[in-house]
């Protein structure tokens, strides 16, 4: 984690070159790849407890939360994101990379919303999004 914060890049070769281990760079790269694919690093297992604690600290159970859903094209990455709005800021809750360019479909939108709705089941949710999220199927 220190490497990611220090380098501010997620390029395996760059991270491996700066990894302070007395092994060859190819071995460092393989170690990093295995580490980053660990099941324990999944968003639901690692991030959800953290964001849940933050939300519980700032919002009373049963209060209304505004949830924003958005998609952005960031270089070659198409990211679908769900965030909670707090004091004009968005805290990321859950996201997924879409394996295509362009808009998301209702199935992808539901896939990213379901875990958030389960996580925040003790709150009243208002979900907002732009014109990409206008599906009646999604609203239901």
Domain ranges across the chain? 10-39, 42-139
Under the banding of pLDDT at 50, 70 and 90, the label for residue 8 is low
Q: What mean pLDDT, rounded, does the chain reach?
A: 84
Residue 72: is its pLDDT beyond 90?
Answer: no
Residue 40: is its pLDDT beyond 60?
Answer: yes
β-pair type (124-129, 89-98): unpaired
Pick the more confident residue, 126 or 138: 126
Counts for the chain of helices (H) and strands (E), in that order = 6, 4
**132-to-77, 111, 138 alpha-carbon distances in Å:** 18, 15, 11
Under the banding of pLDDT at 50, 70 and 90, the label for residue 68 is very high
Residues 82-121 have pLDDT tens digits of 999 999 899 999 998 888 888 888 888 889 999 999 999 9
């Amino acid at each position: 984690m220190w490497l990611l914060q220090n380098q501010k890049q997620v390029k395996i070769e760059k991270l491996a070159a700066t990894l302070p281990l007395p092994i060859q760079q190819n071995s460092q790269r393989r170690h990093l790849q295995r580490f980053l694919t660990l099941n324990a690093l999944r968003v639901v297992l690692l991030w959800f407890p953290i964001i849940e604690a933050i939300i519980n600290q700032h919002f009373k159970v049963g209060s209304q939360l505004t949830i924003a859903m958005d998609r952005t094209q960031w270089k070659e990455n198409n990211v679908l994101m769900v965030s909670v709005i707090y004091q004009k800021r968005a805290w990321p809750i859950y996201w997924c990379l879409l394996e295509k360019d362009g808009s998301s479909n209702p199935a992808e939108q539901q896939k990213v919303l379901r875990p958030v709705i389960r996580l925040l089941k003790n709150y009243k949710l208002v979900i907002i999004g732009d014109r990409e999220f206008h599906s009646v199927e999604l609203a239901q």
